[in-house]
């Protein structure tokens, strides 16, 4: 990677972080839905979950809600490509003396970093709801699963935005994808004893491995199982980054 390519990656990463930090309404607003789910589901279904022998529902729910914040922020970061295309900034970016794969990589890393920040903000709020870490030494492992999930779904959002030209179409497709991905990932209910077809859907869902890995990291689960989840997420992230880079390289500003 030459200096111009590195500069493109770094510049786009820094631009997205600055844009995010300047937008306080976006920063606060993006916490609304995860916090609502955490409070409404956590306290609403907590007694039922406990009576059914599931234990503390807040402990079970929090990893899924943290990755909900990561998922939504990551995948909707792709809409910035459509926004930049409409206002002409994308054309200026594409004429930079760097391969488009590195431009896409810079955008992906910027969106993923914002999604990780969002995940940690949701995690911080969860402590007020009663969530407790098994061990603070597991936080690096938790950050790993947030990061892999963020990269995978930011790349997916970028890939889809690269072939669309209007925001309405992007939002429709994302809503069609995001909610099934979230609900069939084990975020809000255990995946055991589900019908076979739902088990297969969950097994094919990349977020399932992120939720499982983050839950193991935060609650002190098996390192072997965490390694399996991390390997699957790494493979999915790599495939989506390559696919997103291929589609972004064909984009017409």
Q: What are the residue boundaries of the structural domains of the chain, listed by start? A: 3-249
**Tokens standing for 29?**
């607003």
**What does the pLDDT read at residue 90?**
66
- Residue of 67 and 26 predicted with greater confidence: 67
**What does the pLDDT read at residue 247?**
85
pLDDT band at 7 (very low <50, low <70, confident <90, very high): low
- Residue of 135 and 229 predicted with greater confidence: 229
Work out the percent of the chain whose per-residue pLDDT is above 90. Answer: 34
Q: What is the mean pLDDT of residues 148-177?
A: 84
Long-range interactions of 136-140: CB distance < 8 A, separation 24+: 138/217, 138/218, 138/220
User: In this predicted model, what pLDDT tens digit does every residue of 201-216 receive, in sequence order?
Assistant: 999 999 999 999 999 9
The pTM for the full model equals: 0.88
- Residue of 38 and 163 predicted with greater confidence: 38
Tell me the C-alpha to C-alpha distance, in Å, between residue 23 and each of 17, 88, 161, 200, 243: 10, 21, 22, 40, 30
- The pLDDT mean for the chain works out to 83
What is the Cα–Cα distance from 20 to 158, expressed in whole angstroms?
A: 17
CB-based contacts of 224: which residues, under 8 Å, 6+ apart? none
User: In this predicted model, what pLDDT tens digit does every residue of 79-111 receive, in sequence order?
Assistant: 777 777 776 666 666 666 667 777 788 888 888
**What does the pLDDT read at residue 223?**
84
């Amino acid at each position: 990677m030459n200096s111009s390519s590195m500069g493109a990656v770094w510049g786009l990463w820094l631009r997205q972080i600055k844009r995010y930090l300047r937008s306080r309404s976006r920063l606060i607003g993006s916490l609304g839905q995860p916090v609502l789910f955490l409070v409404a589901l956590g306290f609403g279904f907590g007694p039922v979950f406990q009576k059914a022998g599931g234990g503390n529902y807040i402990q079970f729910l929090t990893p899924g809600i943290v990755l909900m914040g990561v998922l939504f922020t990551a995948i909707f970061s792709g809409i910035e490509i459509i926004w930049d295309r409409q206002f002409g900034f994308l054309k200026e970016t594409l004429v930079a003396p760097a391969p488009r794969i590195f431009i896409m990589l810079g955008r992906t890393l910027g969106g993923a970093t914002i999604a990780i920040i969002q995940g940690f903000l949701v995690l911080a709020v969860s402590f007020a709801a009663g969530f407790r870490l098994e061990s603070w030494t597991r936080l690096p492992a938790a950050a790993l699963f947030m990061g892999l999930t963020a990269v995978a779904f930011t790349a997916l959002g970028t890939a889809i935005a690269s072939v669309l030209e209007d925001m309405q179409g992007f939002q429709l497709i994302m809503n069609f994808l995001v909610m099934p991905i979230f609900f069939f990932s084990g975020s809000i209910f255990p995946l055991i004893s589900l019908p076979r077809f739902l088990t297969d859907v969950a097994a094919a869902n990349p977020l399932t491995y992120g939720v499982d890995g983050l839950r193991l990291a935060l609650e002190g689960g098996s390192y072997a199982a965490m390694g399996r989840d991390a390997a699957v997420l790494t493979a999915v992230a790599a495939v989506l980054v390559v696919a997103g880079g291929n589609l972004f390289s064909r984009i017409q500003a």
